[in-house]
Amino acid sequence: MSNFHTIKGTHDLLPDECIIWRQVENSIHSIMQQSGYGEIRTPIFENTKLFERGIGTETDIVTKEMYSWIDQGGNQLTLKPELTAPVVRSYLQHKMGNNYPIHRLYYFDTLFRRERPQKGRQRQFYQFGAEAIGSANPEQDAEIIAQAYNIYQEFDIKNLNVRLNSIGSADIRPKYLDKLRSTIQSIKHELCKTCQERLKKNALRLFDCKNSNCQDLIDKHAPLIFDSISEDDHVHFDTITLILDEMGIPYIHDQKLVRGLDYYTHTTFEITSSVLGAQDALCGGGRYNGLIEQLGGKPTPAVGFAAGVERLILAIENQEKIPKNIDVYLIHMGDKVTPTAVKIANDVRKYCGKIVILETLRRSLKAQMREAGRSSAKITLILGEEELIEKIIIIKDMKTGHQEKVPLSELIQYINS
């Protein structure tokens, strides 16, 4: 065994796992493209300041979890820990907003966060997500929620739970935060250290605390932001719920669901599934009408979501039952036969579009037969010296066990028929 291992919180994806990964990836591409979303790929590292400004200096990601370094040229760089900030950076850098009033972008990409690894929580992980930049209307929020929901439905994920809320527009925030701070001030000493800090720096994040004592206190004392949103914000929220009802997407209005960053406005949502256990969050998203301006652009409305790929794959039930999809196993015996066998494998791939496994270990007939059975191939082709002389090949149907001889010159036609 080698002395080298994957770094804590990272993992290899081996061929059997990649079968399901590839299927997930294909579905994501097709669902996104069906709705007119275009794929975007941004570099694996960016300027550290982009994340500080884009995610917020008080967040766990920026304070504790980024892989950052200074390169030989003195540049402060960071492996990307999230994708909205890079997508918005790209949107601004390429002046996309000047060419067209709306941009619908999606990604499937790898991220890095130095978190405590556990099932469903890694240090290198994948996310897919979508960002719709340009529309302030509620149908855009509903479409984004539906995009995420449709992907989970496509894979028949059980016990899905969509939670939805509105934190209103930015102008209601200062008054609400004053009210929140003054109410919580009297019970401040009963809160955890982190919440006491949050109260000072970003009080909305009090709602994100996982400590049960803090949760009880917040439940009991904190005013809810939903009770402070404006009439227009209510109309926006009600229209989204109306569209979701129309689409048959079930949701729960969770008035404690806030995304505690300055640039979030209006809609916040999360999709969870209890099949995942402790790390039950499949995806999170919302409207971020303030971010584009915060990163140096004109005020531009936007809404999006980000979803964990590892979590989706964990949630896919019975994934080991997914067939390997091998069509043909090609058995051959004898040195003289090998060149013809390799050519046949190549031709069947090329002219029949089949997945063909070619024996290259020169094992005994019995061992090759055993391997063909194990491979779950639909048919096995058998070519020995006798068959080569007679210019035929044996075809065995692995389901029925039926065997027949076919002239080599007719093999392609036979498989295609």
Q: Which residues bind ligand AMP (CB under 6 A)?
A: 82, 113, 115, 120-122, 125, 127, 281-284, 306-308, 310-311
Closest approach of ligand AMP to the CB of residue 242, in Å: 26
Closest approach of ligand AMP to the CB of residue 326, in Å: 31
Nearer to ligand AMP, 163 or 349 (CB): 163
Bridge-based pairing state of the strands 392-397 and 403-407: antiparallel
Q: Tell me the residue nearest to ligand AMP as measured from the CB.
A: 308
Residues 122 and 297: beta-carbon distance below 8 Å: no
Closest approach of ligand AMP to the CB of residue 288, in Å: 12
Helix 231-247 to helix 138-154 angle, to the nearest 10 degrees? 30
What 3 state SS string does the chain have? Answer: CCCCCCCCCCCCCCHHHHHHHHHHHHHHHHHHHHCCCEECCCCCEEEHHHHHHHHCCCCHHHHHHCCEEECCCCCEEEECCCCHHHHHHHHHHCCHHHHCCCEEEEEEEEEECCCCCECCECCEEEEEEEEEECCCCHHHHHHHHHHHHHHHHHCCCCCEEEEEEECCCHHHHHHHHHHHHHHHHCCHHHCCHHHHHHHHHCHHHHHHCCCHHHHHHHHHHCCCHHHHCCHHHHHHHHHHHHHHHHHCCCCEECCCCCCCCCCCEEEEEEEEEHHHCCCCEEEEEEECCCHHHHCCCCCCCEEEEEEEHHHHHHHCCCHHHCCCCCCEEEEECCCCCHHHHHHHHHHHHHHHCCCEEECCCCCCHHHHHHHHHHCCCCEEEEECHHHHHHCEEEEEECCCCCEEEEEHHHHHHHHHC
Closest approach of ligand AMP to the CB of residue 384, in Å: 51
143's tokens: 């479409």
Closest approach of ligand AMP to the CB of residue 308, in Å: 3
Closest approach of ligand AMP to the CB of residue 10, in Å: 11
Nearer to ligand AMP, 270 or 359 (CB): 270
270's tokens: 């999360």
Residue type, 261: L
Nearer to ligand AMP, 9 or 297 (CB): 9
Closest approach of ligand AMP to the CB of residue 358, in Å: 37
Nearer to ligand AMP, 78 or 122 (CB): 122
Closest approach of ligand AMP to the CB of residue 342, in Å: 42
Nearer to ligand AMP, 271 or 341 (CB): 271
Nearer to ligand AMP, 115 or 347 (CB): 115
Nearer to ligand AMP, 121 or 221 (CB): 121
Closest approach of ligand AMP to the CB of residue 305, in Å: 8
Closest approach of ligand AMP to the CB of residue 283, in Å: 5
Nearer to ligand AMP, 54 or 308 (CB): 308
Nearer to ligand AMP, 120 or 301 (CB): 120
Nearer to ligand AMP, 113 or 332 (CB): 113
